[in-house]
Amino acid sequence: MSGWQPIALPGADVQLWPHWLEAAEADRLFAELQQAIAWETHRIRLFGREVASPRLSCWIGDPGAAYTYSRSRFEPRPWPAALAALRPRIEQACGARFNSVLANLYRDGNDAMGWHSDDEPELGSRPVIASLSLGAARRFRFRRRRARGEPAQPGDTLELLLPHGSLLRMAGNTQQVCRHELPRMRHLAEARVNLTFRQVDTSPP
């Protein structure tokens, strides 16, 4: 029986499965991935200069599934066994195929992700992105894209709480009509692992 809950975002296709993994399995996976993934600090461009991203990350995928983000190209690391076993289950739940995953480790509430859309060309115009959350529950925000000079409107921003073991599915025109962020939570001491599964175009340019 599906546990998907539709999220009301005009023009977007977003669904949340709050307890996709049972607590015991989510606990085991959270502990295992913190050790099994080769975490590193990615360098990103922000306001014209290169800075260290405020989280630890690792790009994982099939051979050839390279990904370019913030003018940096990331070659995939091999799938850890736990993620390789998880992939077909994520694919079945989301009705999509994935050849890569961006793993992010937010060490505490000071680590964050700023406003962005997953709209890189290699993801295609209407990508399906599956986001699995493990560890501390974190706030997650969507904000409607506005034309230059367009005033903000009530309801432009929507906030969710992503609990331990939850699965968020973004599809359709979501990346075209919305941006999203993971804001800081200053008093949070616990860590969170987030896995965003994607399908990268590996065909020659």
Q: Which of 117, 202, 161 is nearest to 5 (CA)?
A: 161
Q: Is residue 36 part of a domain?
A: yes
Please give the backbone phi and psi of residue 166, each rounded to the nearest 5 degrees, phi first. Answer: -85, 150
Calpha distance 93→100 (Å, rounded): 16
- The DSSP element (H or E) to which 93 belongs, if any, is helix 81-94
First to last CA, the chain: 41
Q: Is residue 203 part of a domain?
A: no
CATH number for the domain including 41? 2.60.120.590
Q: Is residue 150 part of a domain?
A: no
Calpha distance 91→84 (Å, rounded): 11
The count of domains in the chain is 1
Q: Is residue 100 part of a domain?
A: yes
Each residue's pLDDT tens digit in the chain (205 positions)? 579 999 999 999 999 999 999 999 999 999 999 999 999 998 766 666 677 889 999 999 999 999 887 677 889 999 999 999 999 999 999 999 999 999 999 999 999 999 999 999 999 999 999 999 999 999 999 999 887 877 777 778 999 999 999 999 999 999 999 999 999 999 999 999 999 999 999 887 6
Enclosing domain of residue 64: 5-145+156-198
Distances (CA, A) of 26 to 20, 21, 78, 153: 9, 6, 22, 38
Q: Is residue 204 part of a domain?
A: no
Q: Is residue 174 part of a domain?
A: yes
Query: In the structure encoding, which two tokens stand for residue 43, read together?
Result: 């360098």
Calpha distance 97→86 (Å, rounded): 12
Whether the CB-CB separation of 102 and 39 falls below 8 Å is answered with no
Contacts of 80 (CB under 8 A, 6+ apart): 33, 36, 37, 60
